[in-house]
Chain A
């Protein structure tokens, strides 16, 4: 059976892995390559690298580290950050990334999703969605440029409409970053992810809020996501990968040990 995926996410800035709280106040966690290697050996099913500054200040991700990661790890990985064209995507994929993830550029030009899917196949086109629950309007709203506090802005899109849109354009996977939960380790946004699950017939990855092992059990059992992404719990050693996977397996969740 297809296993549920555990996906450590490494936010990258200036060649270092960083982690912020609610997308802010970034602290350096360590060097990219040794961390990538460590997670691959620990049993991670996949890795995601986000260049969190790239989309906001007009740069493309610094490419050299993509090759260095591809050289050392033998599990799939995805690169996100500032990919705005077929050429940007090709460069990243040629360096050994398995998937590319686009976020703000897809909001500015949704046809980019279709062009990337046509060129490289839908299997490598991931759309990242930064979603924030707006208490005033009672809606989940899509935000863009979340890597830069000064430029972060609400878009015209409501989250579940955007999910359906990106899917119709040829996205192969969705990573839903639930911004209200990000970095605070209070659990995944089960309510939002359950609704997103209904809207998405493609793989859906939960992101934002993992704090303890039971949060992973909940998100797989209750929201039926295909993978769960987390950062700080792994970077800070709060959750041990092997203990996490054994616990999920014991809870009858299909997991690769």
Chain B
């Protein structure tokens, strides 16, 4: 059923939908989870969540017929964690005991997600880490270098021309990327306490 609402979380079939939903509701905004194309297209703000691996998530998005819908969105779209990685061109993923596999993603931000070059530091990169740089962008208003955010990932986008914030774990990687209306955060704003709430609020108030 198509609904006309301001804020929509795309139902990617991934498992962290409700934590994202609760985070937005805690801040006092109305939001729904939907995989209906018209509902997503007419929303003022769209959130693309995701956890787990890109292969499963892209398969879900393809089966729901949402690839072109997401690629065609003109309103601000915020990707969280795997949602950010899905915005990239592709992701070189590997499962334990298997060869790595190149997964084609949504190609909204022309960069490739690769295993995090942690240079011997333990993976997954799990826990609270600080941002080492941030560009001037409304989503990152009042967010500062040195602020802690919650990260959980083994893959990352390298530093590139669309990097909006960086983080260091063995090597620097994109903690956030921005290209036009598409914004992605590698960390989990919905699980990053007060700092994460700032980013969600900044986005919804854009």
- Give A residues with C-beta under 8 Å from B: 1-5, 40, 45-46, 67, 70-72, 74-76, 90, 93-98, 114, 117-124, 168-170, 172-173, 200-203, 226-227, 256
Complex Cα spacing A180 to B64, Å: 51
Number of interface residues of B (CB under 8 A): 43
In Å, the complex CA distance between A124 and B130 comes to 21
Contacts A200-B122, A203-B122 known; 4 new A-B pairs at CB < 8 A: A67-B18, A96-B19, A124-B152, A226-B127
Closest 6 CB pairs of A and B: A93-B15, A121-B52, A170-B96, A96-B19, A96-B18, A123-B152
Please determine whether B95 and A118 come into contact, CB atoms closer than 8 angstroms: yes
Q: Could you mark each residue 172-206 of chain B with 1 if its beta carbon is under 8 Å from any beta carbon of chain A, else 0?
A: 00000000000000001011111011000000000
> What are 8 A-to-B residue pairs whose CB atoms are below 8 Å?
A2-B129, A74-B192, A90-B15, A114-B96, A123-B124, A124-B52, A202-B124, A256-B148
A93 and B16 contacting across the interface, CB-CB below 8 Å: yes
CA distance A99 to B25 in the complex (A): 21
Chain B positions within 8 Å of A, measured between CB atoms, are: 15-19, 22-23, 25-26, 51-53, 56, 82, 95-97, 121-130, 148, 150-154, 168-169, 188, 190-194, 196-197
Question: Min CB distance, A229 to chain B, in Å?
Answer: 13
Cβ-neighbour of A123 out of B121, B153, B169 (below 8 A): B153
Distance A114 CA – B150 CA, assembled complex (angstroms): 25
Q: Which chain A residues lie closer than 8 Å to B123 at the CB level?
A: 201-202
How many A-B pairs fall under 8 Å by CB?
Answer: 120
What is the CA–CA distance of A96 and B190 in the complex, to the nearest angstrom? 11
A117 to B124, CA, bound (A): 12
Q: Which residues of B contact A98 (CB under 8 A)?
A: 16, 19, 51, 152, 188, 191
Give the CA-CA distance A70 to B128 in the complex, in Å: 18
Q: Report Cα–Cα, A101/B82, bound state, in Å.
A: 21
Contact: A94 with B168, CB < 8 Å? no
Shortest Cβ distance from residue A118 to the other chain B in the assembled complex, whole angstroms: 6
* Beta-carbon nearest neighbor of A173 in chain B: B126
Given the contacts A114-B96, A119-B56, A121-B51, A70 and B22 also touching, CB distance less than 8 Å: yes
Q: B125, B153, B194: which contacts A2 (Cβ < 8 A)?
A: B125
A256 and B146 alpha carbons, distance in the complex (Å): 10
Report if A5-B127 is in contact (Cβ < 8 Å); known contacts: A70-B22, A119-B56, A123-B153.
Answer: yes
- Residues of B near A202 (CB, < 8 A) are 122-124
- Pick the contact of B15 from A94, A118, A172 — CB < 8 Å? A94
Q: Chain A's nearest CB lies how many Å from the CB of B56? A: 7
List, in ascending order, chain A residues with CB within 8 A of B168's CB: 1
Contacting residues, chain A, for B17 (C-beta < 8 A): 94
Cα–Cα, bound, A93→B51 (Å):
10
Which residues from B are CB-within-8-Å of A200? 122
